[in-house]
Amino acid sequence: MSTFIASLGDHRTHIDLTLVQDGNRLELVSTMHCKGMQLELARELVISEDDAIDVSTDLEWAAVDEMAALDIDYTKSSGWPEALIKHFAKVNTAAAA
């Protein structure tokens, strides 16, 4: 199951961070969307929530670099690590209830 975490970009081009979680397996995927096309930029397999948060920082910086290379002024929904922390807190709270 894939869960949207955060995005950055403009009205034409944006890069999304999604989390694929299957049991204990966590996979972070960054995907660029432009002109109806999708391009996967990165896919990282991690073993813990802490590792996922660290990797999301790297993926956000890579997305920022990609936007700069394309000369796109972007906005972002939130910081990717912060959005992932909120997601894990919500999931863990629901699991504890």
Q: 21-28, long-range: CB within 8 Å, 24+ apart, which pairs?
A: 26/51, 26/52, 28/52, 28/55, 28/56, 28/59
Structure tokens at 71: 């000369």
Structure tokens at 86: 């909120």
Give how many domains the chain has, as a whole number. 1
H helical segments located in the chain: 49-69, 80-96
Structure tokens at 81: 């690590």
The pLDDT value given to residue 22: 87
Q: Which residues of the chain have pLDDT under 70?
A: none
The pLDDT value given to residue 23: 82
The pLDDT value given to residue 96: 78
The pLDDT value given to residue 86: 96
- Whether the model clears a pTM of 0.85, i.e. scores above it, the answer is yes
Per-residue pLDDT tens digits for 11-37: 999 999 999 998 888 999 999 999 999
In terms of residue numbers, what domain contains 74? 2-96
Structure tokens at 47: 């073993």
